[in-house]
């Protein structure tokens, strides 16, 4: 399950790995966690279609368990290539496993909601929405932390301004978005990339589905 959303998004949201429903549908966050994610984004306000959502691992771990370190390592080049091609300015990680992929020394209970620099991007670690569904205090943290997204975007603009080699600014993205209104993204994408991202350009469904999230490791 490669992910879905806008291929010119400034924000990439990275969960842990597909659950049962995501595996079936080939789309990320289609269950109850996805509904909460949509609600959290709506408060900013940001639409799901304006970000790119993917996972650290691309296949569903058996029995909905947490991805193992070697599974994260096996999917590393895939996610790296996605980040290279989409070049997001802000990376939002959901849950501990996703945060550790970028920030191995991090502790989700201490670092959630912090605006961090990672390589030439901004990293905003959040709790996993599935943890928010189980624990009202974590849901509150999520509701507060997600409101830091505009600040994270501002920080990424400053970072881009400081780094002359930074590939994309938010202004560039706005321009790209305007262009996309007249040209379909598929048509702008070189053949090899189009093949890689073809499944990502499918329309998303926000239909309520049975939850298939993993039960462990969200804290
Ligand atoms: N949980 C995740 O981490 N990713 C998904 O895509 C769905 C649920």
- What is the set of domains in the chain, with CATH numbers? 4-201 (3.40.470.10)
pTM for the model: 0.77
Q: Which of 12-26, 86-100, 168-182, 188-202 has the lowest mean pLDDT?
A: 188-202
Please tell me the distance between residue 23's alpha carbon and the centre of ligand 1 in angstroms: 10
Please tell me the distance between residue 15's alpha carbon and the centre of ligand 1 in angstroms: 5
* Ligand 1 atom showing the smallest separation from residue 53 Cα: 6
Please tell me the distance between residue 28's alpha carbon and the centre of ligand 1 in angstroms: 6
- Alpha-carbon gap, residue 42 to 32, rounded angstroms: 15
* Ligand 1 atom showing the smallest separation from residue 55 Cα: 4
Query: φ and ψ at 3, to 5 degrees?
Result: 130, 180
Please tell me the distance between residue 55's alpha carbon and the centre of ligand 1 in angstroms: 7
* Ligand 1 atom showing the smallest separation from residue 98 Cα: 3
For the Cβ of 33 lying below 6 angstroms from any atom of ligand 1, the answer is yes
Measure Cα distances from 2 to 24, 27, 100 in Å. 13, 8, 20
Please tell me the distance between residue 158's alpha carbon and the centre of ligand 1 in angstroms: 31
- Alpha-carbon gap, residue 41 to 94, rounded angstroms: 13
- Mean pLDDT (the chain) is 81
* 96 CB burial (10 A radius; 0-12, 13-18, 19+): buried
Q: Which of 74-88, 130-144, 185-199 has the lowest mean pLDDT?
A: 185-199
For the Cβ of 55 lying below 6 angstroms from any atom of ligand 1, the answer is yes
- Alpha-carbon gap, residue 219 to 205, rounded angstroms: 27
Secondary-structure percent of the chain, ordered helix, strand, coil, rounded to 5: 50, 10, 40
Query: φ and ψ at 198, to 5 degrees?
Result: -50, -45
* Ligand 1 atom showing the smallest separation from residue 33 Cα: 8
In this predicted structure, the answer to whether residue 191 has a pLDDT above a threshold of 60 is: no
Please tell me the distance between residue 64's alpha carbon and the centre of ligand 1 in angstroms: 10
pLDDT of residue 37: 98
Which token pair is 190? 């070189």
Mutation choice for ligand 1 from 51, 55, 210, CB with most ligand atoms inside 8 A? 55
> Per-residue pLDDT averaged across 144-153, rounded?
98
- Alpha-carbon gap, residue 173 to 198, rounded angstroms: 21
For the Cβ of 129 lying below 6 angstroms from any atom of ligand 1, the answer is no
Q: What would the pLDDT profile of 107-124 be if each residue is shown by its tens digit? A: 999 999 999 999 999 999
Which token pair is 66? 């947490």
> Per-residue pLDDT averaged across 89-109, rounded?
97
Measure Cα distances from 53 to 88, 133, 160 in Å. 11, 19, 22
For the Cβ of 212 lying below 6 angstroms from any atom of ligand 1, the answer is no
């Amino acid at each position: 399950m490669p992910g879905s959303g806008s291929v010119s998004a400034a924000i990439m949201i990275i969960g842990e790995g597909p659950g049962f429903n995501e595996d079936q549908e080939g789309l990320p966050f289609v269950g109850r966690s996805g509904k909460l994610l949509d609600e959290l984004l709506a408060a900013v306000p940001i639409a799901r279609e304006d970000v790119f959502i993917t996972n650290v691992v691309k296949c569903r771990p058996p029995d909905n368990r947490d991805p193992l370190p070697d599974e994260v390592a096996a999917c590393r080049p895939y996610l790296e290539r996605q980040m290279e091609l989409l070049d997001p300015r802000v990376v939002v990680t959901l849950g501990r496993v996703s945060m550790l992929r970028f920030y191995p020394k991090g502790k989700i209970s201490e670092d959630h909601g912090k605006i961090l620099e990672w390589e030439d991007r901004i990293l905003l670690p959040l709790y996993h929405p599935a943890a928010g569904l189980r624990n009202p205090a974590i849901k509150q943290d999520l509701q507060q932390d997600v409101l830091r997204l505009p600040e994270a975007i501002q920080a990424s603009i400053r970072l881009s301004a400081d780094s002359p080699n930074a590939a994309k600014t938010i202004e560039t993205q706005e321009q790209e978005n305007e262009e996309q209104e007249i040209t379909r993204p598929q048509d702008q994408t070189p053949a090899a990339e189009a093949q890689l991202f073809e499944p990502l350009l499918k329309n998303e469904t926000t239909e309520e589905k049975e939850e298939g999230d993993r039960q462990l490791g969200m804290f």
